[in-house]
Amino acid sequence: MYQASSDRYQEMKYNRTGQSGLLLPAMSLGLWQNFGEDRPYAAAKEIILKSFDWGITHFDLANNYGCPAGSAEKTMGRVLKEELSAYRDEIILTTKAGYGMWEGPYGDGGSKKYLVASLDQSLKRLGVEYVDIFYHHRPDPETPAEETADALAGIVKSGKALYIGLSNYGPQELKEMAELLKRAGVRCLIHQHRYSMLERQEKRLLPVLEEEKMGSAAFCPLAQGLLTGKYLNGIPEDSRAKSSIPFLGEDSITEGYLKKARALNDIAAERGQSLAQMALAYALWDGRLTTVLLGASRFSQIEENLGALKALVFSGEEAERIEKVLGEGTAD
Ligand SMILES: NC(=O)c1ccc[n+]([C@@H]2O[C@H](COP(=O)([O-])OP(=O)(O)OC[C@H]3O[C@@H](n4cnc5c(N)ncnc54)[C@H](OP(=O)(O)O)[C@@H]3O)[C@@H](O)[C@H]2O)c1
């Protein structure tokens, strides 16, 4: 059984999730990549335990995370059982369903059948009686939104999840589902969406989240590694861009990207930060995001990224220079 650091709540900043009572750490750990059966268990365990030691209380999963799908939940379940069982009440555990998970007509989408069955499977893999937040992972245009809302509300009423989240919803879909959930007797706690310096949501999604008084969890806040210094001098062999993961490839490292990343890196250096630290600070500084969901292939990355919390404020001049580098086209 792990003995967590007694200093674990000293450095982390905790933000209120929308208008709820729930506080989430400004930085959370996402287990999408690097926590499946294809990775050494010892390395995954080290990242989870050390993150917890630094006040990262929020672990973000989904039914399909890990390779093979489901194996990230198994890894988290093993760490919870063997190391962290004494700390369950200090942990926010999330999972999701929405993308294809098993064969046949009931393993994908937004039907009640799929969502309830998938959560039951996730609870088994995680070895827990409930998750803290259960997300619908993506809107499903084939399923009536009322059915999805009814299923999500039922899940909270059954005690298998404490809160409901939505992910990858567009502004209008989000408003509609938020209303249906309210009518079904639950509130949507938080929305999870892509957000980084390179992929902004200031005009499109964030105003809706504010209006609906929801929290906001940003995924891929480092654009899968593009907003770190790792690609500035070539593509490291052990990087995500070299892996078989289809979402980031060597063709992402273009001259245009490098020009932008080098200019941002120079501004970060002047601020005494790494590029990764500046990118995370810039995402968090105006307080519109509740948390950024960090991915990591080793703990040293999380350790570096946590340093962002030491300098979260930007001068007007710094912000202007950053916006100029990013170009007007990137803020949608
Ligand atoms: N709801 C959704 O649909 C959805 C979609 C995607 C993700 N998510 C959530 O968001 C989480 C994070 O996504 P992500 O992994 O793409 O996030 P990310 O933070 O943008 O990228 C993480 C990757 O960047 C690299 N990295 C991070 N810190 C670094 C540092 N200091 N120096 C050098 N490289 C560094 C590592 O890549 P290397 O492997 O190259 O070392 C790491 O695996 C996921 O785990 C998941 O929980 C949700």
DSSP state of 226: T
- 25: containing domain: 14-330
Residue 117 CB neighbours (<10 A): 17
Mean pLDDT, residues 205-228: 96
Asked if residue 330 has pLDDT above 70, the reply is no
Residue of the CA atom closest to atom 42 of ligand 1? 296
What's the pLDDT score for residue 328? 43
136 belongs to a structural domain: yes
Whether the full predicted model's pTM is greater than 0.75, yes or no, is yes
**289 lies in some domain:** yes
Q: Is 64 in the pocket of ligand 1 (CB under 6 A)?
A: no
Residues of the chain with pLDDT > 90: what percent? 95
CA 138, CA 114: separation in Å to the nearest integer?
13
Q: pLDDT band at 198, cuts 50/70/90?
A: very high
Residue 26 exposed, middle or buried by CB count within 10 Å (0-12, 13-18, 19+): buried
From ligand 1's centre to the CA of 154, what distance in Å? 32
pLDDT value for 332: 36
Whether 33 is covered by a domain: the verdict is: yes
Rounded CA-CA distance 252/232 in Å is 12
Q: How much is the pLDDT for 158?
A: 98
Cα–ligand 1 centroid distance for 194 (angstroms): 11
Distance, CA of 113 to CA of 166 (rounded, Å) = 18
100-112 residue pLDDT tens: 999 999 999 999 9
What confidence tens digit (pLDDT) does each residue in 109-139 have? 999 999 999 999 999 999 999 999 999 999 9
pLDDT at 221: 97
The Å distance, Cα 2 to ligand 1 centre, comes to 25
110 lines ligand 1 (CB under 6 A): no
1 is a domain residue? no
185 alpha carbon – ligand 1 mean position (Å): 34
**Total structural domains within the chain:** 1
Residue 6 counted as domain residue: no
Q: Tell me the pLDDT band of 203, cut-offs 50, 70 and 90.
A: confident
- Residues 170-187 as b/e (b if ≥16 CB within 10 A, e otherwise) read ebebbebbbebbeebebb
User: Each residue of 252-286: pLDDT tens digit?
Assistant: 999 999 999 999 999 999 999 999 999 999 999 99
* Burial track 223-262 (b if 16+ CB lie within 10 A, e otherwise): bbbbbbbbbeeeeeeebbbeeeeeebeeebbeeeeeebbe
- pLDDT at residue number 204: 87
Residue 5 lies in a domain: no
- Token code pair at residue 253: 């490292």
Give the Cα separation of 49 and 46 in Å (integer).
5
Angle at Cα 196 formed by Cα 190 and Cα 201, nearest 5°?
A: 60
Residue 8 falls inside a structural domain: no
- The CA 284 to ligand 1 mean position distance, Å, reads 16
Instruction: Identify the CA nearest to 194 among candidates 204, 184, 186.
Output: 204
Asked whether the predicted pLDDT for residue 77 surpasses 70, the reply is yes
Q: Flag whether pLDDT at 8 surpasses 50.
A: yes
pLDDT confidence tier of residue 247, bands split at 50, 70 and 90? confident
Closest CA to 24 of 331, 287, 307, 330: 287
Q: What would the pLDDT profile of 145-193 be if each residue is shown by its tens digit?
A: 999 999 999 999 999 999 999 999 999 999 999 999 999 999 999 999 9
> Of how many residues is the chain composed?
332
Residue at 18: amino acid letter: G
Percentage helix, strand, coil, to 5, in the chain? Answer: 45, 15, 40
31 domain-assigned:
yes
d(CA 314, CA 149): 40
Neighbours of 43 (CB within 10 A): 14
pLDDT band at 245 (very low <50, low <70, confident <90, very high): confident
Please report, for the domain that includes residue 258, its CATH number.
3.20.20.100
pLDDT band at 331 (very low <50, low <70, confident <90, very high): very low
Question: What does the pLDDT average to over 303-330?
Answer: 91
75 in ligand 1 pocket by Cβ < 6 Å?
A: no
What mean pLDDT, rounded, does the chain reach?
Answer: 96
